[in-house]
């Protein structure tokens, strides 16, 4: 849940204050959700830890304030969450949603209770960055989550550490899930010029009001990855102008087709992305995999969205397995998902099978493609 923006608590609004005054600890939400604690708040309202008095299970409930714009956003989030029901939350690394209910004028969304957001997890390490051995699985989980969203035609649009939850901080390797789909949207409904996302994590094309797609999520993924490795944001700022200035300082002028012509508070000052390796060595000491990590980041953070690597290419990068070719369930499941979509759309299944292989998956691919086709599921 986006409880914080840029590491600072969101200011209270009259609507949020009203929720806090009427839904204090010990009060009941709906018919049987007893408020035990407030986990945080944002522009939407508050998130409370509640106890289901019927099952005695702890849950997280997002209480959307009664502002008309927020209620409309809540409806859109419910629409997205309904689309995500087609996915297995465990396999897709997304939060488990258990429906919604009304409490007076408030719309309340029920979710599984998770441990802590990635911002706090990084902060617990004194913002010195995580070891490569932790960065690797977390980045893999996030890539897997975005690939699953893409399989149902959803653009995340607001990926940042505050919208990523650690399932259990004491588990090794740590597992993460995506939360808060309030700004997510179908890829077919993306509107050029819409300013979505959070300053410091939005892609250049979004900040410049240009058409954008799933590649904007790749940019955000790269920035989250850098924050995992260094402990601090790469491009902080309160305004898009600040962020664009930092991008230009580090990566040069955006491509001409973006139309950006105009050209301090950075945590780390770089003149090129290659310097990230030295930053990581200074903050954490030398580790195996740092150079491969920077190599991956450079391919993700291409200023031109058309030049960014894909999610599958991320998982195939040597960073995830520097000694041998990757062969893991995440990549295999991702590849099968996208291949079967291609097969279902293609005019010639046999030709598609030969083109997209591999032969060991041919039977499964054919069955999945047939299922996609007969179920009339089309990915936008």
Specify binding-site residues. 62
Tell me the backbone φ, ψ of residue 160, rounded to 5 degrees: -165, 165
Which H helix or E strand runs over 110? strand 106-112
DSSP annotation of 274 reads G
DSSP annotation of 306 reads G
Contact between residue 228 and residue 135 where contact means Cβ atoms under 8 Å apart = yes
Contact between residue 72 and residue 121 where contact means Cβ atoms under 8 Å apart = no
Q: How far apart are CA 88 and CA 94, in angstroms?
A: 8
Measured in whole angstroms, the distance separating CA 138 from the mean position of its chain's CA atoms is 11
Distant-in-sequence, close-in-space partners of 233: CB < 8 Å, separation ≥ 6: 200, 223, 226, 227, 267
Residues that constitute the known binding site for ATP? 62
242 is catalytic: no
3-state secondary structure of 164: strand
Burial code (b: 16+ CB inside 10 Å, e: under 16) for 7-25 equals eeeeeebebbeebeeebee
Contact between residue 129 and residue 280 where contact means Cβ atoms under 8 Å apart = yes
Report the length, in residues, of the chain.
Answer: 380
- Residue with tokens 């410049």, as numbered in its chain: 208
**Count of helices and strands (H, E) across the chain:** 14, 13
Cα within 13 Å of Cα(377), Cβ side: 17
Catalytic residue, candidates 158, 180, 217, 304: 158
**Residues known to be catalytic:** 158
């Amino acid at each position: 849940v986006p409880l914080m923006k840029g590491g600072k608590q969101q200011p209270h609004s009259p609507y949020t204050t009203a929720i806090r005054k009427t839904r204090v600890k010990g009060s009941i939400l709906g018919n049987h959700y007893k408020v035990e604690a407030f986990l945080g708040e944002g522009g939407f309202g508050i998130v409370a830890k509640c106890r289901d008095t019927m099952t005695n299970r702890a849950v997280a409930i997002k209480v959307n304030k009664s502002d008309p714009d927020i209620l409309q956003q809540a409806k859109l989030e419910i629409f997205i969450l309904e689309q995500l029901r087609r996915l297995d939350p465990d396999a897709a690394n997304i939060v488990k949603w258990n429906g919604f209910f009304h409490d007076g004028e408030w719309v309340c969304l029920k979710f599984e209770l998770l441990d802590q957001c990635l911002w706090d997890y990084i902060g617990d390490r004194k913002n010195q960055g995580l070891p490569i051995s932790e960065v690797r699985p977390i980045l893999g989980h996030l890539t897997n989550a975005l690939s699953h969203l893409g399989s149902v035609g959803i653009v995340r649009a607001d990926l940042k550490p505050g919208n990523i939850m650690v399932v259990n901080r004491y588990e090794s390797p740590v597992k993460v899930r995506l939360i808060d789909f309030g700004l997510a949207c179908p890829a077919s409904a993306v509107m050029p010029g819409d300013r979505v996302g959070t300053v410091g994590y939005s892609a250049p094309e979004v900040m410049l009001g240009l058409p954008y797609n799933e590649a904007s999520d790749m940019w955000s993924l790269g920035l989250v990855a850098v924050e995992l490795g260094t402990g601090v944001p790469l491009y902080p700022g309160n305004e898009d102008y600040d962020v664009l200035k930092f991008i230009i300082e580090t990566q040069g002028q955006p491509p001409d087709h973006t139309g950006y012509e105009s050209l301090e508070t950075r945590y780390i000052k770089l003149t090129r992305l290659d310097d990230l390796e030295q930053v990581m060595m200074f903050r954490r000491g030398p580790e195996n995999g740092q150079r491969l990590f920077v190599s991956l980041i450079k391919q993700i953070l291409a200023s031109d969205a058309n030049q960014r690597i894909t999610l599958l290419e991320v998982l195939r990068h040597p960073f995830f397995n520097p000694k041998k070719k990757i062969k893991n369930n995440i990549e295999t499941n991702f590849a099968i998902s996208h291949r079967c979509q291609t097969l279902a759309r293609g005019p010639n299944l046999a030709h598609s099978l030969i083109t997209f292989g591999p032969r060991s998956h041919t039977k499964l691919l054919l069955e999945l493609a047939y299922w996609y086709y007969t179920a009339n599921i089309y990915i936008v």
